[in-house]
Amino acid sequence: MITKAKITDYDILYKMDKHISKERLRKKIEDGEILLLIKEEKIIGWLRYGYFWDEYPFMNMLFIIDEYRGKGFGKKLVEDWEEKMAGEGHRLVMTSTLSNEEAQHFYRRLGYVDIGGFIIYDEPLEILLIKNIHS
């Protein structure tokens, strides 16, 4: 089941998601910008997003617990988010990933295409990807 995170999910998300501050996590939940993947009443993954230039939906984090990876759960979560964004009238969605991560191949298989990249200090190249979701 995929559902929006609720404030009652805050504590468990804060323990699991180490890439966001407490305050920002609370705001994301309040703004409805975190989708949870639930299996057997347990959070097994989430998708956290925002808006690039305050206009284009941008997936900031896609996370699936290790034991559930490679089973189609991430794909389902991304597709659900894309449908939600299309339903809100958006024509495209974006994300990024480090060039040394396998996620780039996952996103390309889902139809995302590279549109550029940048380097933050001593990190590998961050690849920007985009997908047209307008049918």
Is pLDDT above 80 for 135?
Answer: no
How many alpha carbons lie under 13 Å from residue 37 in its C-beta half-sphere?
Answer: 22
- pLDDT, averaged across the chain: 95
pLDDT at 54: 95
Mean pLDDT of 101-130: 95
Q: Is the pLDDT of residue 134 over 90?
A: no
> CB atoms < 10 A from the CB of 37, how many?
23
Q: What's the whole-number mean pLDDT along residues 114-133?
A: 95
- Give the dihedral of Cα atoms 44, 36, 91, 21; nearest 10 deg: -100
**Contacting residues for 64 by C-beta, under 8 A, at least 6 apart:** 37, 44, 45, 73, 74, 77
Tell me yes or no: is domain 2-132 CATH 1.10.357.10.
no
Q: Report domain extents, the chain.
A: 2-132
Separation between Cα atoms, residue 15 and residue 118, nearest integer Å: 29
Task: Give pLDDT, residue 56.
Answer: 97
DSSP 125: P
